Structure 1
Amino acid sequence: MAPLKSLEPDYPIIDSNFQQFCASHHIFSVEDFLLHDIYALELSTKQHFDSKRLEEGISVVRTIMEGLHQPWLNGMELLQKAQGNKHGISTGYERIDVLLEGGLFQGNLVELVGPSSSGKTQLCLKVAANVAVNNLGSVTFFDTGNSFSPKRIDKLLDQSSEPAKIKTEEVRRRVMDKIVCQSVFDIYVLFDLLHQLKSTLKPVTGSSVQMLIVDSISSLVTPILGSGAHGHALMVSLGFLLKELAYEHNLSVLVTNHMVGAEGGHLKPALGESWKNVPDMRLHVSRDCKSNICSMSILRHPYITAGKAVMFSLK
């Protein structure tokens, strides 16, 4: 996210005096604004002799936040991205892997959309277990609704296609240790944790993290959307941070999103229009309420036609 100093040439109001005021509140970039209480910041300007100019500067930064968008990529950059992230991570469900032509690819932000009890969390746990069993690396799991279940992970290990890999308790413990879960109930805490993760992913640390899971992202974002432009800008900033982690560090990032009511009694993915084009891949999951039979369909994919679907059993 752009540092405030870099905005000064285009926005003279964001001068050294304004930057110094912001620095006194530990604000150095547009993202820092997103993570700050703007109302409290506006109140603090009253203590300064140049309060009107500071208020104007805050208004300008808020306008910049409203216009946040992902930088355009040219054809060569898109091709390099596709060629540089070919390694697929199996979901643990063969039919889903076939549908996605290899599973969940590194370097991509993937979103699972579906109503409550549709199997989104089960899929996240299955993918996490599969990554750990096959020694692909570690998994960072951010749980926003107390949905993570170590016991369920343990049972999923028994259903692994590679039972020989977990034949002893010592190996089983090592597999479980590769899945690191942390409860997160606040979007600002999530930002802090993601930045911490980003610092550990620098090449010098030799981090082995291969997958990041946020279940569910909508639980944290929905409450702040009521704050208008600030909330939407914060949501988009979160999406871009997740994409940056995926692309720059070749992670597979998986998030879940619930559904809300729409016109005509239908359901639609939460988070709205500002979010729908952020994920590289959007997958819709539904479940037969009388059985464990689920359906997955593609809503958005870099190179597979939307609408393709598959049925699978949620074990």
Structure 2
Amino acid sequence: MTPLKSFEKDYPLIDSNFQSFCVSHGIFSVEDFLLHDLDALIAFADSHSTSQTLKQGIDQLLSIIDALHPPLLNGLQLLEDAQRNKHILSTGCEGIDALLGGGLCEGQLTELVGSSSSGKTQACLLSASTVAKHESSVIYLDTGNSFSPQRIAHFVGQSSGYVFDNQADHILRKVLDRIICYSVFDIYQMFDVLHQLKINLRSEVVKSNQHVRLLIVDSISSLITPILGGSGPQGHALMVSAGFLLKKLAHEHNIAVLVTNHVVGGEDGVSKPALGESWKSVPHVRLLLSRDCGSNVCNISMLKHPSKVRYLIRKFLYGVVYVSQYHDASGWAASSAMYL
């Protein structure tokens, strides 16, 4: 998020009085301002003793946003951008890649939804090791002490086919060096990390041969759920701002974003993704992971995808890999089983 305070020095109307007025309505940043009902904000300003100055501040902030906003792109420009800059990154998991049409798409936010032990973190670690092995950097935000270098070592050794000799150790060190892991335990820490990443990307601090291509947040729900309690709008605004910032980083810097989300009980005892309807619109792609009781078989179903027709269930199993496909009246469907 871009804090309002950052404009205070260059824009006199965005002073401490204007910022206090905004804070009283749950507005701490430009993103919060954009998400707020502008008519309602102006009405509140009208009832204030310094209404004229506050409304001038609102106008000035709108002008700043207009000046900073990138030009609108037409459909052809968006298509060309997707073809030139938005590449597909393999997750290292054949079944997931087949389901997604090759893997994670740069510029998009993909969400893995599932209960505990459904395989979400394993998919994140496998994706991180696969991308890092191809000489790209990965930013990994670990919110629950679940990042495992030992698991990365297992995946690297498995994919390389090497026993752990000097050559394998050299490859592993390079992979781990390209995975930049942050322990993040609240949403404010996450914003700090993401803003620093944005600054680094803009100033090209990251070396060109180690371009950041994947950003992982495992899990986004553990950061957002604690702030959603209470009757105030601040928690909801922070949640939407987090989604906005992740998608903005993905699009502007051609990064694939992968986040995990837990499930909660819904109607009739059927589990559903946490974070509610407002968050539902944030991910470009949403996959549901589940594990069959008493077995190592995991199921993946496609809940949302911007360019795919409805998918049925895809299965993956620790052991065998197979893929089968068929067509039905509703579109293309597939099932598979694979190692994680």
TM-score (normalised: structure 2): 0.72
Q: CA deviation at 1:313?
A: 2.1
SS in 2 for 1:201: helix
AA at the equivalent of 1:259: V
Aligned runs of 1:72-221 on 2, under 5 Å? 75-76=75-76, 78-135=78-135, 137-160=136-159, 163=162, 167-202=167-202, 204-207=204-207, 208-221=211-224
Q: CA deviation at 1:192?
A: 0.7
Q: CA deviation at 1:57?
A: 6.1
Which of 223, 226, 247 is the equivalent residue of 2:229? 226
AA at the equivalent of 2:16: Q
2: CA distance between counterparts of 1:254 and 1:96?
Answer: 13
Q: CA deviation at 1:266?
A: 0.9
Q: Is the 8 A contact 1:99 1:308 kept in 2?
A: no
SS in 2 for 1:204: coil
Q: Is the 8 A contact 1:4 1:19 kept in 2?
A: no
Deviations 1:54-75 (A, max 9, x none): 8x969x99xxxxxxxxx99864
2: CA distance between counterparts of 1:107 and 1:194?
Answer: 15
Q: CA deviation at 1:93?
A: 1.0
Q: CA deviation at 1:189?
A: 0.9
SS in 1 for 2:159: coil
Matched residues, number: 280
SS in 1 for 2:29: helix
Q: CA deviation at 1:90?
A: 0.7
Which of 10, 20, 28 is the equivalent residue of 2:16? 20
Deviations 1:5-39 (A, max 9, x none): 9xxxxxxxxx9566332568998x8527969xxxx
Q: CA deviation at 1:128?
A: 0.5
Q: CA deviation at 1:52?
A: 5.6
Q: CA deviation at 1:293?
A: 1.6
Q: Is the 8 A contact 1:114 1:257 kept in 2?
A: yes
SS in 1 for 2:289: strand
AA at the equivalent of 1:19: D
Q: CA deviation at 1:243?
A: 0.4
Distance change >3 Å, CA 212–CA 18, structure 1 → 2: closer
Residue equivalent to 1:67 = none
Distance change >3 Å, CA 131–CA 229, structure 1 → 2: same
SS in 2 for 1:167: helix
Q: Is the 8 A contact 1:142 1:213 kept in 2?
A: yes
1: CA distance between counterparts of 2:31 and 2:48?
Answer: 18
Distance change >3 Å, CA 76–CA 273, structure 1 → 2: farther
1: CA distance between counterparts of 2:198 and 2:281?
Answer: 23
Residue equivalent to 1:307 = 311
SS in 2 for 1:147: coil
1: CA distance between counterparts of 2:163 and 2:249?
Answer: 33
Q: CA RMSD in A?
A: 3.5
SS in 2 for 1:159: helix
2: CA distance between counterparts of 1:2 and 1:175?
Answer: 33
Q: CA deviation at 1:154?
A: 1.2
Distance change >3 Å, CA 191–CA 86, structure 1 → 2: closer
Residue equivalent to 2:276 = 272
Larger relative CO (CA 8 A, sep 6+): 1 or 2?
1
1: CA distance between counterparts of 2:234 and 2:313?
Answer: 36
AA at the equivalent of 2:92: G
Residue equivalent to 2:292 = 288
TM-score (normalised: structure 1): 0.77
> Mind listing any 5+ residue stretches in structure 1 that lack a counterpart?
6-14, 36-49, 62-70
SS in 2 for 1:205: coil
Question: Percentage identity across aligned positions?
Answer: 53
> Mind listing any 5+ residue stretches in structure 2 that lack a counterpart?
6-10, 34-46, 59-69, 319-339
Q: CA deviation at 1:212?
A: 0.5
AA at the equivalent of 1:93: C
2: CA distance between counterparts of 1:292 and 1:168?
Answer: 28
SS in 1 for 2:115: coil
After superposing the two structures, state which structure 1 stretch, 188-197 or 172-181, moved more.
Answer: 172-181
SS in 2 for 1:160: helix
Deviations 1:154-203 (A, max 9, x none): 11112115649983422321211111111111101110110001111125
Q: CA deviation at 1:295?
A: 1.5
AA at the equivalent of 2:291: R
After superposing the two structures, state which structure 1 stretch, 282-291 or 75-84, moved more.
Answer: 75-84
2: CA distance between counterparts of 1:33 and 1:301?
Answer: 25
2: CA distance between counterparts of 1:3 and 1:205?
Answer: 23
